[in-house]
Amino acid sequence: MSARAATPQRIAVIDLGSNTARLIVIEATPGFAYRLVDEIREVVRLHQGMTEAGLSNEAIDRAYSTLRLYGRFCDSTGTDIVLATATSAVRDAANGAEFVDRVRKELNLDLRILDGEREAFYGVIGALNEVPLDEGVILDIGGGSAQLSRIRTGKYEGGVSLTLGALALTERFIDKDPASDKQVARLNKEILQQLETIPWLSEVRGQRLVGLGGTIRNLAKIETMRQTSPLSTLHGFKLTRASLEKSMGDFRRLPLAKRQRIGGLTSSLPVALWWQRSSTRSAYRSYRSPPAVCAKASSSSTSGITWTIPSSRLQCRRS
């Protein structure tokens, strides 16, 4: 191997999501190894206020400012390669292409819009680098969408993207604090209807369900705080159905001001996260799953942890 091939490179990955924008910088020696050297996360709420006309001006300003910050950071730290991606909010917005064009012209940053299946595939790469999974399903819940992917013989077979993101559903169905019973019923109906469109979901009974992303991390973190766990890592933590029921009850009952004080809950999520508990609880009821297990994700995934559910029954009732 040539000396040039063994020279370390600084590679930055920008993930512009519907709720947060994340930057990670990896120092990689091609063909040998890599390590995470920097990580930044900013709440942009890009999906907030989105209408048929597209992203709101306020959301665009938040995202633009964050991307400008990330670009300057990469320039000042001598980053060799910048890989920038955008997902559900930009993908679905009527003015998404216009936003991407502005970022390219003004910030000299090429945003690649991932389609739903590609977004699911990248989540699978991160999960499979950490969790041994021969047969099962991988779930990633974001702000604008949720991805479900089927794994066969340890490989990605296919994935779907559903409009079941936390912010998307909150803005569509919830306008009271706390949410009313009628609003929750409508939301749950929408979740189940979308899940029933997945043709293979009823075929994966008894297989494992692996989840990744901030939603699952918060669910686990809240339970560790509830148990006053002395551990600083969520790796291997078991998340039971009883825990989900408890969290769901708290989020249904408490107003925003009190939800914000729940131990372990990320401050950017108290408005939307309650529906995610509703979704995850529906999954437990449908699959009749044993306790979930949190596993630390590979550094190739920026989600921080991976959530593993050894599922005893996977069926078309999921959220």
Q: What are the residues whose beta carbons fall under 8 Å from the beta carbon of 239, sequence distance 6 or more?
A: 216, 219, 220, 223, 291, 292, 293, 294, 307
**What's the confidence (pLDDT) of residue 79?**
96
Q: Tell me how far apart the alpha carbons of residues 81 and 87 are, in angstroms, rounded to a whole number.
A: 20
**What's the confidence (pLDDT) of residue 297?**
44
The tokens 């899940």 sit on which residue?
195
Strand order in the sheet with 292-296: 155-162, 146-152, 136-141, 208-212, 305-310, 292-296, 238-239
Q: Tell me how far apart the alpha carbons of residues 319 and 272 are, in angstroms, rounded to a whole number.
A: 14
Q: What are phi and psi of 212, to 5 degrees?
A: -140, 160
Residue ranges per domain, the chain?
9-114, 117-310
Q: Which of 59, 12, 62, 7 is nearest to 30 (CA)?
A: 7
Tokens of residue 57, six digits: 């001006």
Cis peptide before 255 (omega within 30 of 0): no
**What's the confidence (pLDDT) of residue 4?**
55
- The CATH fold assigned to 117-310 is Nucleotidyltransferase; domain 5 (3.30.420)
**What's the confidence (pLDDT) of residue 302?**
35
Q: What are phi and psi of 41, to 5 degrees?
A: -135, 130
- The CATH fold assigned to 9-114 is Nucleotidyltransferase; domain 5 (3.30.420)
What residues in the chain have per-residue pLDDT under 70? 1-5, 235-236, 238, 267-319
Q: Which of 37, 17, 21, 41 is nearest to 29 (CA)?
A: 37
Q: Which of 186, 175, 260 is nearest to 218 (CA)?
A: 260
Going by the DSSP 8-state scheme, the letter that residue 203 receives in this structure is: G
**What's the confidence (pLDDT) of residue 270?**
44
